[in-house]
Every structure is written in structure tokens, then in C-alpha cells.
């Protein structure tokens, strides 16, 4: 693509962006085609190629969707160059400082900050749907004690579609609203079961008099033999972390939720696939990998440079987890907030975590290293979040589950928007590179 006036005669095609007339001109095999330019509310520009194949017979290839906009969305704006992240127009800095996770959930899902009355109703609905069908527990009991909590979470959310069979992807607004409340209310309850089982402890029932974060912490840490008092520092830190994770536009798990939902699959199945996508170590699973990496560095004598060198050596197959981001190429605004929150939480709780020191050393060394500078690799949201989760007493294999609880409102909002906008089924194309047509050879005649 070249600006107008400096058009090169590329073969077989040449894209000219004529910004004045909001039209992109494509010259392909000597023929000219025009495609509209779309502009978003934050002046992001896109060439609308939805008629490209119809008109030219060509498709586009964009491995990893690095340049492909899958949708128009009014939920989250992010600018990777400037390090900006806004939910429905509100900055992540403001929301993390002044809001609560449930208020942010409301904002993401319904588009506006709630009034006091709207919030009271929303919170009440969630508080009174936290209990999970006892038969779900029977399914849960069948999982081995060492099952990864993300696999369990994804399976149980999928199982919710069996417990609420009226969810069929064709629901009325009212029915969908109930499914949304059920998901938000029950996910923390289900999430704590894996931890309790790993400890050999009985699971705890939700307490409807507790707020969202306190209820989760109580289900995680209270025991029949000892009352658990929720520390407000811990609850506030959790609230902040969940807000920071609540949405991130068309990332891997969110795109998965939208794609699955585009077939009119029900909301539980769609969210369950999002949980599976999040689990991968290149996505949400990175938070577990980061702490395991930091612990390995510590156990290996704390030589951060050795690991920086390994990450730079492509033949090692090692990556510095918690570094790099597909979209942020300057800094990840969530990582800045989390880094400060990690310092605050550790100070307030009087915890001295040697892994924090390793993380700080690693960050400093990486940020001064030409390899990382050149490739614009900065700490991402996962780099410091694990340090806070550890301080809150959350075990490493539950870190990605925490991310899933945080991301749930975003997945719901994106699923709902996709359905309300009546988006067509997602179905990418391909360029086939396999064997050309050939005749079948009988097995007895094969060499
Ligand atoms: N350590 C070392 N090198 C890296 C790292 C890293 N963490 N991340 C990227 N690079 C290098 C790549 O090898 C590549 O180098 P090259 O140009 O010499 O080939 C270059 O930087 C660009 O990397 P890509 O993988 O092409 O970038 P992409 O945008 O596809 O990937 C990703 C982004 C997956 C996040 C990547 O940076 C990564 O694997 N990071 C570690 C895992 C991680 O922390 N994931 C969490 C992301 S945040 C989230 O999902 C919540």
C-alpha cells in the first residue's frame, strides 16, 4: 500500500490508499477496484475488503491475523503504540483506581456505568445466583485430584449448558440476561472447587452477604474449623487485578468466544472455548509460566543474564514469559498499574518475596538489552500479576483461573455484541498448498 502520488506499479497488484475520498484503490492484473475506508471513533482506519473475493477472485492471507480486523466493536479501545486501554471510553487507569470489578462488568456488558439503582439490582442478582447445582459437584468429583484447574473450569462451564438446556443460542433478551448473571455468579464458586480438592479440604458454599471478591476469597480460604476474615487489602488488590483483566478487545480467547458464538452456539459453550484458548502459555497461561520461570531462575542462583541470553538464542526454544505483546509495542498500561500494585500489596501485607527481586532484575536487564529494545518487547500484564496472586495466597496453577474470572465480563460483552449486531458465522478462507488432484490408488497397488 502506498500513499497517493507515490504509486508504484507492483505486480500483480498495487494498493493505493486515497484517504481524501475514503477509498482504497487496488490495481490487480491491470484492472482497478475500489474499496471503502472505514474509520473508527478513535480514528483507526481500515480497508473494507468484504467484497474483495466477489470482485477480484482473490482473498487475503494474514497469518496470526496481524492486520485483520474481524469485527467493528464499541467495547474496548486500545492503542498499542501509545499504551492506551479504554473500556467503553473510560481509561483503565481511572477504572482501576475508582471502580469495582462488578461495576466494570456492568459497564462492559451493558455499555454505560450503572446508576446506584441499576448497580444494586445487578449485584443483588449476582449474589443470589452463586449457588451451583449439586449435580455439577458430582461431575467435578470425577476429575482426578491433580487435574489442571483450567481444564476443570472449561469443562464445568461447558457442562452448564446441560444444566440450563434452555440456553440454545436463540434466546430472548431476558433469557440471555439470566444466563449472563448465572455465569458471573457461579464462575468463582466453581473455580474454588479445584483448589479445595487439591488441598483435600471440603468445598465451601458461597455466602450471599459478601461482596464478589470477598466471597471468592472466603470460598478459597475458609475452613470448617477456622473462620476466615477477608483482609480488605487482599480484597482490594483482587478487585484491581480483575478490573485490569476484564477485557482486551479481539485477543485470542475473545476471538474464540465470538467465533464459536457466531455459529449460534450457546453462551456457556462459547465461554468454555474462550477458557480453553486462554489456558495456552502464549496467552493467559503465561502468568503461571512467569512465576515458574522466576522460581527456576532463583533456584538456579538468580543469574538473570543467563536467562536473557537463553531467550535471545532462538535455538534454545526458550522465551521470556511475561515479555512481549502482539499489540503493545511501547508499554502495556496494565503492567504499569500491576507493577505498582505488587509493590503496594507486598508492603501492606509485610511480605518479602525474593521472586519480586528477580522479576525487577530481569525487567531492568531486558529493557537495557538491544534484542528486547529492537523488538519492542516490554513486560506484559502477566509479568507482575503472579507476584500479587502469590502474595494473596493463590497457588500457581490457579493463576490463569484468576485471569478467566477477570476476563469473563469481556467475553460476555463481546459475545452479546456479536449476537446483537447479527454478525455472520465466522469462516476464514485459506490458500490450499497440498497435493493437486490425483487418482486413488488401491492399497494392493501402492509401493
Ligand atoms: N522472549 C524472547 N523473544 C521474544 C519474546 C519473548 N518473550 N516475545 C517475542 N520475541 C521475539 C520473537 O522471537 C521474534 O523475534 P524475531 O523477529 O527475531 O523472529 C520477535 O520477538 C517478535 O515476536 P513474535 O512472536 O513474532 O510476536 P507476536 O506478536 O506473534 O507474539 C507473544 C506475541 C505471543 C505475546 C510473544 O511476545 C510471546 O510469546 N511472549 C511470551 C508469552 C507471554 O508472555 N504471553 C502473554 C501475552 S499477554 C496475554 O496474552 C494476556
Cell, residue 154: 472449561
Q: Residue whose CA is closest, atom 26 of ligand 1?
A: 326
Q: Is 382 a catalytic residue?
A: yes
Given the residues 179, 283, 325, 332, the one annotated as active site = 325
E strand map for 59-172: 76-79, 84-87, 90-91
Residues with CB under 6 A from ligand 1: 64, 282-284, 286, 311, 319-326, 375, 377, 380-382
Size of the chain in residues: 447
**Residue where the block lists cell 512467569:** 290
Ligand 1 atom nearest residue 283's Cα: 50
Q: Residue whose CA is closest, atom 30 of ligand 1?
A: 326
Q: Residue whose CA is closest, atom 37 of ligand 1?
A: 324
Cell, residue 319: 522465551
Q: Residue whose CA is closest, atom 47 of ligand 1?
A: 283
pLDDT in tens, the chain (447 residues): 333 333 333 345 555 554 445 899 999 999 999 999 999 999 999 999 999 999 999 999 999 999 999 999 999 999 999 999 999 999 999 999 999 999 999 999 999 999 999 999 999 999 999 999 999 999 999 999 999 999 999 999 999 999 999 998 788 899 999 999 999 999 999 999 999 999 999 999 999 999 999 999 999 999 999 889 999 999 999 999 999 999 999 999 999 999 999 999 999 999 999 999 999 999 999 999 999 999 999 999 999 999 999 999 999 999 999 999 999 988 899 999 998 898 889 999 999 888 988 998 999 999 999 999 999 999 998 898 988 999 999 999 999 999 999 999 999 999 999 999 999 999 999 999 999 999 999 999 999
Ligand 1 atom nearest residue 290's Cα: 44
**Cα dihedral: 244, 249, 251, 253 (round 10):** 80
CA–CA separation, 78 vs 334, rounded Å?
A: 11
Ligand 1 mean position to 181 CA, how many Å? Answer: 36
pLDDT confidence of residue 14: 59
- The CA-CA-CA angle for residues 407, 381, 386, to 5°, reads 90
For 335, how many CA atoms within 13 A lie in the half-sphere containing its CB? 23
Q: Residue whose CA is closest, atom 45 of ligand 1?
A: 282
Ligand 1 mean position to 354 CA, how many Å? Answer: 26
- The CA-CA-CA angle for residues 32, 37, 42, to 5°, reads 160
CA–CA separation, 50 vs 364, rounded Å?
A: 45
Pocket probe for ligand 1: among 65, 324, 335, 379, the residue whose CB has the most ligand atoms within 8 Å is 324
Ligand 1 mean position to 321 CA, how many Å? Answer: 9
Ligand 1 mean position to 85 CA, how many Å? Answer: 20
Ligand 1 mean position to 441 CA, how many Å? Answer: 44
Q: Is 353 a catalytic residue?
A: no
Amino acid at each position: 500500500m502506498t500513499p497517493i502520488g507515490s504509486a508504484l506499479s507492483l505486480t500483480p497488484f498495487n494498493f493505493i490508499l486515497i484517504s481524501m475520498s475514503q477509498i482504497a484503490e487496488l490495481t490487480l492484473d491491470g484492472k482497478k477496484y475500489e474499496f471503502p475506508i472505514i474509520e473508527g471513533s478513535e480514528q483507526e482506519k481500515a480497508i473494507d475488503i468484504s467484497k474483495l473475493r466477489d470482485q477480484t477472485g482473490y482473498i487475503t492471507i494474514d497469518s496470526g491475523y496481524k492486520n485483520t480486523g474481524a469485527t467493528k466493536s464499541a467495547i474496548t479501545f486500545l492503542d498499542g503504540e501509545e499504551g492506551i486501554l479504554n473500556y467503553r471510553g473510560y481509561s483503565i487507569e481511572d477504572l482501576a483506581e475508582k471502580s469495582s470489578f462488578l461495576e466494570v462488568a456492568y459497564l462492559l456488558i451493558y455499555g454505560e456505568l450503572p446508576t446506584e439503582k441499576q448497580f444494586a439490582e445487578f449485584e443483588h442478582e449476582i449474589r443470589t445466583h452463586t449457588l451451583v447445582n449439586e449435580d455439577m459437584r458430582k461431575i467435578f468429583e470425577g476429575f482426578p485430584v491433580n487435574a489442571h484447574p483450567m481444564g476443570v473450569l472449561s469443562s464445568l462451564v461447558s457442562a452448564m449448558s446441560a444444566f440450563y438446556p434452555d440456553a440454545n443460542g436463540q434466546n430472548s433478551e431476558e433469557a440471555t440476561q439470566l444466563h449472563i448473571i448465572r455465569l458471573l455468579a457461579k464462575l468463582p464458586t466453581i473455580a474454588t472447587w479445584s483448589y479445595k480438592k487439591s488441598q483435600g479440604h471440603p468445598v465451601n458454599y458461597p455466602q450471599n452477604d459478601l461482596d464478589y471478591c470477598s466471597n471468592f476469597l472466603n470460598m478459597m480460604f475458609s475452613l470448617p474449623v477456622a473462620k476466615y476474615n477477608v483482609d480488605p487489602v487482599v480484597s482490594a488488590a483482587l478487585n484491581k487485578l480483575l478490573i485490569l483483566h476484564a477485557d482486551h478487545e479481539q485477543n485470542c480467547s475473545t476471538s474464540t468466544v465470538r467465533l464459536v458464538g457466531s455459529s449460534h452456539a450457546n453462551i456457556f459453550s462459547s465461554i468454555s472455548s474462550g477458557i480453553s484458548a486462554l489456558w495456552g502459555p502464549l496467552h493467559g497461561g503465561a502468568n503461571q509460566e512467569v512465576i515458574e520461570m522466576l522460581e527456576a531462575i532463583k533456584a538456579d542462583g538468580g543469574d538473570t543474564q543467563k536467562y536473557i541470553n537463553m531467550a535471545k538464542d532462538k535455538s534454545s526454544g526458550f522465551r521470556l514469559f511475561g515479555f512481549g505483546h502482539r499489540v503493545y509495542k511501547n508499554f502495556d498500561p496494565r503492567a504499569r498499574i500491576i507493577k505498582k500494585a505488587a509493590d503496594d500489596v507486598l508492603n501492606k501485607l509485610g511480605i518479602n518475596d525474593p521472586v519480586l527481586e528477580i522479576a525487577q532484575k530481569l525487567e531492568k536487564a531486558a529493557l537495557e538489552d538491544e534484542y528486547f529494545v529492537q523488538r519492542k518487547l516490554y513486560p506484559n500484564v502477566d509479568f507482575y500479576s503472579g507476584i500479587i496472586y502469590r502474595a494473596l495466597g493463590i497457588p500457581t496453577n490457579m493463576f490463569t483461573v484468576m485471569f478467566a474470572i477477570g476476563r469473563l465480563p469481556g467475553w460476555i460483552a463481546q459475545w452479546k455484541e456479536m449476537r446483537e449486531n447479527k454478525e455472520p458465522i465466522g469462516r476464514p478462507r485459506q490458500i490450499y498448498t497440498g497435493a493437486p488432484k490425483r487418482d486413488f490408488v488401491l492399497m494392493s497397488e501402492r509401493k
